[in-house]
Structure 1
Amino acid sequence: MSSDEVSFVTVHGHRRAYVKRGRGPALLLLHGLGCDHTTWDPVVDALARRFTVIAPDMLGHGQSDKPRADYSVGGYANGMRDLLTVLGVDRVTVVGHSFGGGVAMQFAYQFPERTERIALVSTGGMGPEVSPLIRAVTTPGFHQAMGVLTLPVVRHVGATGLRLLSRSGVPAARDLGEVADIYDSFRDPRARHAIRHVVRAVVDWKGQIVTMSDRAYLTRAMPMCVVWGADDRVIPVSHAHHAAALAPGARVVVFPDAGHFAHKDHPELFVDTLVDFVDSTEPAAHTRTQWRRLLREGPAVEVAQSEAGDAPVAPVAQVVALPSA
């Protein structure tokens, strides 16, 4: 997506950047922590042939404003509702990557009447484990240390080294090119400030603290697809099994030879998976009566919890792992 395709709208006094492409049922694409709408570049053209694709830069990211504001998961969900309202879009299939997956789940929980389906890519919220690099953002002195590490010469050397490592062919290094882009964005102190507040809202030194486990049973009323990369080093692929346990009705697909950015590692496969998910499921039809019944019934099966956090001890539903090429 070229820069001239980016549009802007002011909501609650803050300018928000977004791209809107295509025609058809609406897809809301939510990027991950430190990224922006361009993370969807490899798939947006193909998706726009079938759907109205809306890919925003969430507040504090990309070309959107980076104010002192509410950077909680709930705050982001509210912001997406308000953006869709301004754009005249009533209902969406919400697609979220990493932190954006947490926002997608929160959006569906807060606004089920506006959510047709949920699709998650290497999502947060399925267990406590997360990369030490993300936990480091919560430590005292991160803002100051990153100010030094993003000085022009230091940043150029560091980002170049990360990009070279990402091309080495080593699976553990495949995502470092994306890490380099995030690192480069930290040269803006406003972006560092925003990211620090985002991470502190969802992660502490032990790992992720925001979980969908206590409300996952509500997905019985809404189609859900979960995609993961088998070589994910940011949020482990074992969380795909957690997703299968927490939401037994979900479609869970593991991409071989893919890392944290599975939609970028295998864009054609991702598009095919998402299109098939939409084509083979009916949009959720939310009613207060149904929602009240689900809340009163609670989880159909109690999921065992580990001592480490909210992750289930073992999966109770099958995960589909695609064969290697």
Structure 2
Amino acid sequence: MGTAHTRKLRPVPDSEPRLVFRTIHGYRRAFRLAGSGPALLLIHGIGDNSSTWQELIPHLARNYTVIAPDLLGHGRSDKPRADYSVAAYANGMRDLLSVLNIDKVTVLGHSLGGGVAMQFTYQFPHLVDRLILVSAGGVTKDVHPALRLMSVPVFSEALKLLRLPGAMPAIRLTGNVLSKLHGTPLRPGALLHDTSDLVRVLSALPDPTAYEAYLRTLRAVVDWRGQVVTMLDRCYLTENLPVQLIWGDHDTVIPVGHGYLAHSAMPGSRLDVFRGAGHFPFRDDPIRFLRVVEEFLTSTPPLEFEAERWRQLLISGISEAQISGAPATRMAVLDAMGADERSAT
């Protein structure tokens, strides 16, 4: 569906989201707020911030109350020495919504934010109307080799070189060159696809507090073997929840195969794969992304949470019959669920 970063949304006049600050548990939380109507919570990925949604927020705000936080340790939020696990982030989202007096929300999460969104849904199912996962982390082990290396202390120390004078301008220049190379006959496959966005994320890391928060977040979810958590063993709990999955087929950070596994493990979920898009499909093709999200929101009723049904699902657990897809995909889901190194949250 088109080439990366070539399809742009038209600006919405007088609709810039407000950057708002609230202090919760003594820490300042920043978030973008716009619109009115049913609540829509947008959760960004690791090292990123709420500005990643800047182009989409005005369009979504025409029909929804959009809340796009900077996760603790990211963007304009405080960066304390704290718990940066996905469970802690989910608690932070619950607390922010409580402060804003919002008791029901559709949760949309990208990358690490997808893992946080799934964890939020698991911890607070009574608060969730729908779930949208975009190139989500926390499905199974595979992750970009660079993230595995950065989780190892000896390699993560190399990130401190970003603080040297001239380091970031050199990286931005290299990123610009590689981004221009992408899309030409000389490019090596899809490996350069997300270069500009990854450089954008790296640009925040020279700040020492952002760097420490980034490493704490990364090590909570990734080690040298890959991702250390999986949501596949709890996907059956989304049985009655409307779920939309969105992935780019050129995603080199979290491969599109994770989207197929999640779709297979989540009864009744929808999966849209964006051809030619990478790890940031909402930036590669925002027009299609907005169309998919809005169609999902308008065509699905919000979940009516039933505590007794939830209890019965927990008692029954998952069965192989609930896993859909081709035999190879079903087997991959069962293998990932049975891996003895996975972490429970």
Q: Per-residue deviation at 1:54?
A: 0.3
Relative to structure 1, the CA distance from residue 190 to residue 305 in structure 2 (aligned partners, 3 Å threshold; closer, same or farther) is farther
Contact 2:179–2:196 (8 Å) recurs in 1? yes
Q: Determine helix, strand or coil for the equivalent of 1:17.
A: strand
1:160–1:180 CA contact under 8 A, matched in 2: no
Structure 1 residues 144 and 172: CA distance shift in structure 2, 3 A: closer
1:6 to 3, 19, 23: 19
TM-score (norm 1): 0.91
Q: Which amino acid aligns with 1:155?
A: M
Runs of 4+ in 1 over 2 A off after TM superposition: 1-5, 141-144, 300-309
Distance in 1, matches of 2:333 and 2:223, equals 17
CA distance in structure 2 between the aligned counterparts of 1:4 and 1:115, rounded to whole angstroms? 23
Match of 1:286 in 2: 305
Count of aligned residue pairs for this structure pair: 313
The share of aligned pairs that are identical, in percent, is 46
Matched residue of 1:214: which SS? helix
Matches within 5 A, 1:250-261: 250-261=269-280
CA distances 1:50-90 after superposition (whole Å, capped 9, x unpaired): 11100000000000000001101000000000001101111
Aligned pair partner of 1:57 in 70, 74, 77: 70
What TM-score, normalized to structure 2?
Answer: 0.86
Alignment check: 8 A CA contact 2:22 2:28 kept:
yes
Q: Secondary structure at the match of 2:45?
A: coil
Contact 1:150–1:184 (8 Å) recurs in 2? no
Map 1:1-325 onto structure 2 (within 5 A): 5-168=18-181, 169=183, 170=187, 171-301=190-320, 306=332, 310=336
Counterpart Cα distance in 2 of 1:138 and 1:250: 32
Aligned to 2:293, what secondary structure does the other structure show? Answer: helix
Residues 231-272 of structure 1: CA deviation (Å, up to 9, x unaligned)? 111111111110121113110110111000001111111111
Tell me how large the CA RMSD over aligned residues is.
Answer: 2.1
Structure 1 residue 307: Cα displacement:
10
Which residue identity is paired with 1:243? Answer: A
Cα separation, 2, equivalents of 1:34 and 1:139: 17
Are 2:261 and 2:333, in contact at CA under 8 Å, matched by a contact in 1? no
Q: Secondary structure at the match of 2:177?
A: helix
Gaps of 5+ in 2: 1-10, 324-329, 339-345
How far does the alpha carbon of each residue in 1:179-213 deviate from its partner, in whole angstroms, 9 at most, with x for none? 11111111111111111111111111111111111
Question: Structure 1 residues 247 and 162 mapped into 2: Cα distance closer, same or farther (>3 Å)?
Answer: same
The DSSP-based 3-state class of the residue aligned with 1:147 is: helix
Q: Distance in 1 between matches of 2:302 and 2:17?
A: 33
Does the CA contact (< 8 Å) of 2:17 and 2:58 recur in 1?
A: no
Q: CA deviation at 1:308?
A: 11
